[in-house]
Amino acid sequence: MRPAQAHGLPLLHLSDGRATLTLNRPDQHNRLHVEDLLALQQHFDALAADASVKLLVLTGSGRSFCSGFHLGELDGPAQAHSAGPQLFEQTVDRLEALALPTVCRLNGSVYGGAIDLALACDFRVGAAGMALRMPAARLGLHYYPNGLRRYVSRLGLATAKRLFLLAESVPAAELLALGYLDRLAESGQLDAEVQAIAEALAAGAPLALRGMKASLNEIARAEFDLARLREREALCAASADLQEGKAAFAEKRAPSFAGR
Candidates 139, 136, 137, 81; CA nearest to 114 is 136
Are 173 and 215 members of one domain?
no
Are 173 and 90 members of one domain?
yes
Are 90 and 198 members of one domain?
yes
Lay out the sheet containing 123-127: strands in order across. 11-15, 18-23, 55-60, 102-106, 123-127, 183-185
- Residue 145's pLDDT is 93
d(CA 58, CA 87): 19
CB 113 within 8 A of CB 88: yes
- Residue 5's pLDDT is 47
Are 197 and 211 members of one domain?
no
CB 70 within 8 A of CB 111: no
CB 208 within 8 A of CB 246: no
Residue 212, H or E segment: helix 206-220
- Residue 259's pLDDT is 87
d(CA 5, CA 79): 32
CB 118 within 8 A of CB 106: yes
d(CA 29, CA 17): 28
Are 49 and 95 members of one domain?
yes
Are 182 and 90 members of one domain?
yes
Extract the residue ranges of the chain whose pLDDT is less than 70.
Answer: 1-6, 73-83
Number of domains composing the chain:
2
Tell me whether residue 41 is exposed, middle or buried, using C-beta atoms within 10 angstroms of its C-beta: 0 to 12, 13 to 18, 19 or more.
middle
Crossing angle of helices 206-220 and 240-251, in 10° steps, is: 110
d(CA 118, CA 220): 17
- Residue 104's pLDDT is 98
In a domain, 131, yes or no: yes
- Residue 81's pLDDT is 45
Rg (CA), the chain: 19
- Residue 4's pLDDT is 41
Are 246 and 190 members of one domain?
no
Are 96 and 216 members of one domain?
no
Neighbours of 173 (CB within 10 A): 12
For 92, the 3-state DSSP assignment is: helix
Instruction: Provide the CATH number for the domain around residue 97.
Output: 3.90.226.10
> Considering the entire predicted model, what is its pTM?
0.91
- Tens digit of each residue's pLDDT (9 = 90 or more) over 4-61: 445 799 999 999 999 999 999 999 999 999 999 999 999 999 999 999 999 999 999 9
Q: Which domain holds residue 110?
A: 11-202
Are 144 and 212 members of one domain?
no
- Residue 251's pLDDT is 94
For 32, the 3-state DSSP assignment is: strand
In a domain, 3, yes or no: no
